[in-house]
Structure 1
Amino acid sequence: MPLYPLFADLAGREVLVVGGGEVALRKVEALLHAGARVRLHAHEVHPALAGWIDAGRLERLAGDFDPAWIDGAWLTVVATDDGAFNAALAAEAGARHRFANVVDDAALSTFQVPAVIDRAPLQLAISSGGAAPMLARRLRERLETELDPALGALAGLFARHRGAIRTRLPELGHRRRWFDAVIDGPVLALLRAGREADAERAFVAMLDDAGAVPAGGRASLVGTGPGDPGQLTLAALRAMNLADVLLVDGAVAAPVLALARKDATREAAPDDPAACAARVREHADAGRHVVWLRPGDGFREAPFAPIAAALGDATWPCEVHAGIAGPDAGRSVDA
């Protein structure tokens, strides 16, 4: 079953943790980092947890477990090795319409805790839906080495100047292109070098000169191949992720479309090639990057092959990204 990704603001909110061992320690540490008000129930507690209780960082609930404790909690985390108790507690939480995570038991849990890459305020979460937590952790380890440590500081700059960005760049497409220019420009390199003040000055200068960002009218005609996302070209993926508008042929496979930019405007492509070409021209003339998606090698086959040439008189560029033709494309010759 697919999970709905959710980042919870737990600052100052009560979370109930049941269990006092190493696993509970890791869960409590993450919750305290998020600013949660942790209440802990356990007959025995890890020495580090005991120290945090003595320091007033969390509250310990004494005596036998009281299901009413769940009522005051936004979330409940269960980290005991008693399967029958865990199941009963999960049932109590469900009856009270409260989310509960039973560590290492996806079937009993109503929320999962993902593997997290922290570049505060930027966070990336990876979940296997409880099916393969070690796989999620391995992916996190790989991404940790690939993601620039300075991305958090860059996200902080965007956050501090959010109001000014929206005021200076009210048009969404122009704002996207400005963001791309900042991300690909000198600001990140300055942050990486530890030159925070210089990075902020460069960021503000780019915001002051935001009108110089090109209007960005552009057309990309993308053949999406046989419907296998793994057979899309890198150029096609980049176009799909930079789109302001997606014109989507009804035969484009859902797994392919799932890779396109989520906040791009999506329109059904007209059946008539000339009508769709006119729609492409309308969007690009308005300064938008419009991406037209068709299955197979959609724009090198009749009757769509002449469209790029027909759009060649425009001031903005029109590019064709070839796709693999035919439903059997990519099949092994030994299949």
Structure 2
Amino acid sequence: MALYPLFADLEGRDVLVVGGGEVAARKIAALLKAGARVRLHARAILHPDVAAALAAGRIDRLGGDFDPAWLEMVWLVVAATDDTAFNAALAVEAGTRRRLINVVDDAALSTFQVPAVVDRSPLVIAISSGGVAPMLARRVREQMETLLDPALGPLAALFGRYRQRIRQALPDMGLRRRWFERLLDGRLDRAHAAGGAGQVENAFLDELERAGEWARHAAGGAVALLAAAAMPDLYTLRALRVLNEADAIVLSTGVARDAIEPARRDALHLQVPDAEADGLALEHALGGSRVVYVHAGTPAGLAACARLSAACHEAGIACRDVPSVAAGPV
């Protein structure tokens, strides 16, 4: 990864934009949305949106010839001109002063890139190709737009607004994570479709009111039995869900770690022989963890599944066999 991804807090901070055309107008609009104080230098104002922002006092215009001293006043610089020689000289001046600069359509001169964005504020997803394939980044953004429900924005805001109440209702971090996942699993989608952000908040508060009662029933562990797929992209949606919800993943010796690439990154990963897998998985489930036993489908692995299923039944632990690969031709 050549670029270091970050999100900049520009609220109330000065940013210099050079150029007055369509590209500059897009950059200015995004910067104003982020709360930046935009300072503009342009030989001519070519775009009506830039002219309107100037007339409304939303941006300040720096007149006369370009003065490199202006770079001392700003945090970031955006060069949106079609003057290649000027852009190159501006990049040098910015580098001398350790100011990050984005030269539009010139990754070599830029020290930061502006990504394609999926906006579900306060949830924001940024997609970058490092400046080498911006059309590809835009295509990925378009695909993400269709995948992410509009309810995610209001829901993310509610998580922040009621953070303290959530912690009080669910002091255990593991249960709190499960409660978040429960809400993110589509429980509030209908509320958003029915009444927008206001209805989402009503449904959210109802779920929060009942969080303590839910936690008393959800505190116990559970086990999922999963045969490893030959390739990670062959897993069923149900298999992907249990891998992403797991607190602990027990792998039999014959399963490559690549087989659980889609799994939750912070889950505990344990690799043991099949003969020990059932005891280890049960131990973690009895401690309240959601455990996935990933086996290779061998006779030893299936025997471990049978022992684990019987032990869970005796201990009162939920245990289910999850189809890993869809039946029939792919």
Say whether the fold is shared (TM-score over 0.5).
Answer: yes
Matched residues, number? 316
2:248 to 245, 249, 260: 245
Structure 1 partner of 2:132: 131
2:151/2:200 contact within 8 Å kept: no
Structure 2 partner of 1:164: 165
- The verdict on how the C-alpha distance between 1:66 and 1:285 changes in structure 2, with shifts beyond 3 A counting, is farther
The within-5 A match list for 1:278-317 is 278-292=279-293, 298-301=295-298, 303-312=300-309, 313-314=311-312, 315-317=317-319
Structure 2's unaligned 5+ residue stretches are none
- The verdict on how the C-alpha distance between 1:66 and 1:319 changes in structure 2, with shifts beyond 3 A counting, is farther
Give the aligned residue type for 1:311.
Answer: L
Counterparts of 1:154 and 1:108, CA distance in 2:
39
1:225/1:323 contact within 8 Å kept: yes
Shift of 1:138: 2.6
- The verdict on how the C-alpha distance between 1:309 and 1:212 changes in structure 2, with shifts beyond 3 A counting, is farther
2:275/2:300 contact within 8 Å kept: no
Residues 269-312 of structure 1, C-alpha deviations (whole Å, 9 max, x = no match): 2444444443322322222223355xxxx431254332211211
Structure 1 partner of 2:321: 319
Q: State the identity as a percent.
A: 52
Residues 11-64 of structure 1, C-alpha deviations (whole Å, 9 max, x = no match): 111212122211011000010011011111221223432332232211222233
The within-5 A match list for 1:148-187 is 148-184=149-185, 186-187=187-188
Structure 2 partner of 1:215: 219
1:221/1:299 contact within 8 Å kept: no
Moved more, 192-201 or 37-46: 192-201
- The verdict on how the C-alpha distance between 1:270 and 1:197 changes in structure 2, with shifts beyond 3 A counting, is closer
- The verdict on how the C-alpha distance between 1:195 and 1:322 changes in structure 2, with shifts beyond 3 A counting, is closer
Moved more, 270-279 or 169-178: 270-279
- The verdict on how the C-alpha distance between 1:280 and 1:107 changes in structure 2, with shifts beyond 3 A counting, is farther
Structure 2 partner of 1:11: 11
- The verdict on how the C-alpha distance between 1:197 and 1:237 changes in structure 2, with shifts beyond 3 A counting, is closer
Give the aligned residue type for 1:72.
Answer: M
Residues 71-126 of structure 1, C-alpha deviations (whole Å, 9 max, x = no match): 33222211111223223322333343332211112222222212222222222222
Larger helix share, 1 or 2: 2
Counterparts of 2:61 and 2:290, CA distance in 1:
56
Moved over 6 A (4+): none
Moved more, 36-45 or 190-199: 190-199
Give the alignment's TM-score, normalised by structure 1.
0.82
Q: Specify the SS of the correspondent of 2:201.
A: helix
Give the aligned residue type for 2:243.
Answer: M
Q: CA RMSD in A?
A: 2.9
Give the aligned residue type for 2:207.
Answer: M
Shift of 1:224: 4.5
Give the aligned residue type for 2:13.
Answer: R
- The verdict on how the C-alpha distance between 1:219 and 1:74 changes in structure 2, with shifts beyond 3 A counting, is farther
Give the aligned residue type for 1:5.
Answer: P
Counterparts of 1:13 and 1:111, CA distance in 2:
17
- The verdict on how the C-alpha distance between 1:84 and 1:216 changes in structure 2, with shifts beyond 3 A counting, is farther
Counterparts of 1:260 and 1:105, CA distance in 2:
37
Q: Specify the SS of the correspondent of 2:98.
A: coil
